[in-house]
Amino acid sequence: MRNRKISFVAGLAIAGLLAGACSEDSSTTTNAPAVTEAPATDAPAATDAPAVTDAPNADGDLVQWAIDYTEGTAGMASGDSIKIGYVNQEDYFPENTIGVNAAVEFINNELGGAAGHPLEIVPCTITVAEDGAKCGTQFANDAEIAAVLTGTILVGNKELYDALNTKKPVIVGNGVTADDFTTPAGQAFTAGSPGVVAGMAGFVVSQLGDVKNVAIIAGNNAAGIAGADLLFKPVIEKAGIAYTFVGVDDTATAADVASAMTAVGAESADVVVLIVTLQQCINVYDASKALGIDPVIVATGLCFGTPMTDHLAEAGDGGTVPNNWYFGGYGYSYFQPDYDSGMQTYLDKVQQYGVPAPGATNLEYTGFAGPEFANIMTLTKFLNQLGPDALDYASIDGKIRGFKGPMMIQAGPLDCGKQVILGLPIFISVCGSQMGIQQYKDGEWLSIADALNGKPIDATKV
């Protein structure tokens, strides 16, 4: 039950930023522009679970990938530790910590540490808004903290960044609030939710055939309204595609969602877009069955995870996620692990060093865990480049802001602080711009438009 609760609240956070309720439906448009067919995949399909141990690259090769990426040295780390502050809302997002701790164990045991020293994580947990200032002040005043990494936090974000700004180098791990993407205190090495949602809109407009109307189902909260208004609606409107919108409460039942789907016209829409919690993704699946409809679904990566897979098994349907659904992410896939992006290395090492969250029976390696593992690996690269005698604020901060990629398991080059998405230059802490779309079809994952088939979507060009 804990895994299901965690995934639900994690989804709530992102849906709060991305998904919005709209107070009125758009007018119907009959002049939608012609669009091309979705590109055929060139990448090999993978079955339900990634078989890293059966990959053509031996374990030594996966370690070598990591040595090359971090510019480290094989072997165990020794000596005094380099301390990294880590801020996370642990009760809701322990998967971040799974990724962080697995990466640190891997680095210290096999990659020679960072700048020749072991890494040590100094955690600070946020529970209420006031904790943001507390954690920020704690790390800002600790001379032994070389840099700060965030996990995912819902409250106290601005206060945290204000306390750290110009005092400690900051990597924004898995941000979900507006402050995470507009703070001057640090940088986020992924396309983040701005890139993913804008990219999903671009995919619907340009790669799903003759789309004339879209039904959007999203979280019903104030922050979600801003996300939908800024990132999704403008793309659909510019293309002349009609849409209807319905907001669903995060506590909605399957029956509530079925009513919402009927109200939004999901049975007749060309595409149904989901920017909701994992629990609501499950409810959409159940509601579709109850209504006897099989819509084309385009969802964020929030809709896959252990609870979805377990639910499908309980329903007797099987599969990893619902059949034929499309999913938006960072351009690579946990379910189609490749060598070059570091995904095979991540999956192998998180399984070796990862520890399930307290109260959980399964290791949650998807979701936020992967990018956080990659953040620690990337920070290690910077520390190795600088060496142990140059780990001051200006040097580490300069490495963070000047990083051009490639970033582990994030598609495309980076341009930190300079991404303009949908004409909005406000996302000053976003570094990546490319995202990807995969589809789960008949037990296989297919690359539709991602880095695996060389066709990722660039949100700055949507």
Task: Examine the domain organization and report whether 143 and 200 are in the same domain.
Answer: no
Q: Establish if 275 belongs to a structural domain.
A: yes
Q: What SS3 state is found at 398?
A: helix
Q: Establish if 39 belongs to a structural domain.
A: no
Domain CATH number, residue 214: 3.40.50.2300
Task: Examine the domain organization and report whether 268 and 344 are in the same domain.
Answer: no
Q: Establish if 30 belongs to a structural domain.
A: yes
Domain tally for the chain?
2
CA angle in degrees (0–180, nearest 5) for 5-10-11: 100
pLDDT at residue 278, rounded to an integer: 86
pLDDT at residue 220, rounded to an integer: 80
Q: Is 162 exposed, middle or buried (0-12, 13-18, 19+ CB in 10 A)?
A: middle
Residue range(s) defining the domain that contains residue 307: 22-34+194-329+441-461
Task: Examine the domain organization and report whether 291 and 258 are in the same domain.
Answer: yes
Task: Examine the domain organization and report whether 244 and 302 are in the same domain.
Answer: yes
Angle in degrees, 0-180, between the axes of helices 94-110 and 59-70, rounded to the nearest 10? 90
Asked if 72 and 112 touch (Cβ cutoff 8 Å), the reply is: yes
Task: Examine the domain organization and report whether 223 and 300 are in the same domain.
Answer: yes
pLDDT by residue (tens digit) across 149-200? 999 998 999 999 999 999 999 999 998 888 999 999 999 999 988 899 999 9
pLDDT at residue 445, rounded to an integer: 97
Task: Examine the domain organization and report whether 241 and 268 are in the same domain.
Answer: yes
> Within 13 Å, how many C-alpha atoms sit on residue 435's CB side?
26
Q: Of the candidates 418, 460, 419, 453, which has an alpha carbon nearest to the alpha carbon of residue 439?
A: 453
Task: Examine the domain organization and report whether 416 and 270 are in the same domain.
Answer: no
pLDDT at residue 210, rounded to an integer: 93
Q: Establish if 4 belongs to a structural domain.
A: no
Task: Examine the domain organization and report whether 317 and 383 are in the same domain.
Answer: no
Q: Establish if 250 belongs to a structural domain.
A: yes
Q: Which residues of the chain have pLDDT under 50?
A: 1-49, 51-56
Looking at residue 424, what DSSP letter applies? B
Task: Examine the domain organization and report whether 105 and 124 are in the same domain.
Answer: yes
Task: Examine the domain organization and report whether 322 and 409 are in the same domain.
Answer: no
Task: Examine the domain organization and report whether 77 and 181 are in the same domain.
Answer: yes
Q: Establish if 47 belongs to a structural domain.
A: no
Task: Examine the domain organization and report whether 182 and 275 are in the same domain.
Answer: no
